[in-house]
A and B are shown apart, each in its own frame.
Chain A
Amino acid sequence: MFRWIVVRDLTLAWKSRVDVLSTLFFFLIVVSLFPLGIGPETNLLRLIAPGVVWVAALLASMLSLGRLFANDYQDGTLEQLLLTPQPLYLVVLGKVLALWLVSGVPLALMSPVLGIQFGLSGNTLFVLVVSLLLGTPVLALIGSIGAALTLGLRGGGLLLSILVLPLYIPVLIFGSGAVDASITGMGLQGSLSLLGAVLVLSLVFAPWATSAALRISLE
């Protein structure tokens, strides 16, 4: 049953792939604007690269959150999902997993190409991908709570960003911290371990909070 939720959401993402692609293009363009704006100052660019890529990743995953529950809510399929004979926790986890597969993973895989614009070394590019692969699922998990809470509200999109962006701060700090440490040659294990810890924590608690928020939103 869990498999069906993931398959369903991946099929839907494939059928509306323009939405998925526009999120990725957003990420690509935002990150590319900085080298163009600042000019060929390699040292400065290398310095701001971790922050820029990570902030752009944060904003891009915010954009994809709107799709998570809103469409299902409008056509009534969310009600049907709530009435399936399995814990709502798993339904939420399945939907978040599918969202991450179509937004977080391609975003992380695309980041080395963008990193080259900032003059990052091969080793740092690798750390960037690893940090994004660890961090983007957290963004999707935390974001799902906000998406569920703002379901069906007018102007929910803006409210969602106000709710969710502050919660993204730890991920931003540890994620860009790891890349930073790799540039300056300091130990990056601390940041990556903390990022992993945040991932485990949000895997346990976020779907549970999202389920509760969904039940309230659907009353």
Chain B
Amino acid sequence: MLEATSLGCVRGDRRLFTNVNFALGPGSLLQVQGPNGSGKTSLLRMICGLLAPAEGEIRWQAANIHSLGEEYFTSLAYIGHRNGLKEELTPIENLRVASGLTGTQLSHDEATIVLGKVGLAGREHLPARILSEGQRRRTALARLLICKAPLWVLDEVLTSLDSSAVRFVTSLIREHTNKGGITVVATHHEFDLPADSYQRLDLA
């Protein structure tokens, strides 16, 4: 259960948003919308605990996320608008390192299978540097397939993806919410999901 009460964000001397409230139970999906510079990324970084809210608080399972500390990070998967990949490493190495850092060992073969699922078969051994923007995005998304975190925070995940990859991500999110996970997505894309199956938050 993720709750935000009267959140406010100030960047520099500009007030981006005030009084943002939402409560997300198991199996819910929240789409954060708003024009460029309205604070979508800031809100998502607040949910991750990377940015302290100027006012209000965010609670996970009824406890403030800042008091939870590292414990909170076991239930969180974040994909920012920078992919979080090392250019020098191959997709396999990137995935294995990312998985190892969250405490789960991933073998070479398992990583290959996961990367096949996100459409990178045959590209697993190339350094991320020479992959296309979309392929790098897919590599970053592969992390979602191996993580068991109930809370996904995804920032502009659909940019530079082709239509089949967009459908794949949509189905991934639907599967995650069906299993009782919570997803927060910032995107300008319209989801190909029934309108009553997700909540929207407009940061105007």
Contact = CB atoms under 8 A, between A and B. Distances in A.
Contacts of B103: 1, 85-86
Interface stretch (B21-29, B86-94, B181-189, B195-203): B86-94
A11 B93 contact: yes
A5 B93 contact: no
Contact of B100 (A4, A76, A82, A219): A4
Interface string B17-58: 000000000000000000000000000000011111000000
Contacts of B51: 219
Contacts of B78: 79-80, 83
A77 interface: yes
B68 to A, nearest CB: 11
Contacts of B98: 80
Contact of B52 (A15, A75, A80, A219): A219
B97 interface: yes
A71 to B, nearest CB: 8
Contacts, number: 74
B84 A5 contact: no
Interface residues of B, number: 28
A75 B52 CA distance: 22
A3 B48 CA distance: 24
B50 A12 contact: no
Contacts of A79: 48, 50, 78, 80, 82, 84
B101 A75 contact: no
Interface string A11-24: 11001100000000
B192 interface: no
A59 to B, nearest CB: 26
B94 to A, nearest CB: 9
A55 to B, nearest CB: 32
Nearest to B78: A83
A15 B76 CA distance: 30
Contacts of B81: 76
B97 to A, nearest CB: 5
Given A79-B50, A80-B78, A219-B52, A85 B86 contact: no
B95 interface: no
Interface in A115-150: none
B71 interface: yes
B85 interface: yes
B74 interface: yes
Interface of B: 48-52, 70-71, 73-74, 76, 78, 80-89, 93, 97-98, 100-103
16 contacts: A4-B101, A8-B100, A75-B84, A75-B85, A75-B86, A76-B83, A76-B84, A77-B85, A79-B84, A80-B98, A83-B49, A83-B50, A83-B76, A84-B73, A85-B102, A87-B70
Given A82-B50, A219-B52, 8 more contacts: A15-B89, A76-B82, A76-B83, A81-B101, A83-B78, A87-B70, A218-B50, A219-B51
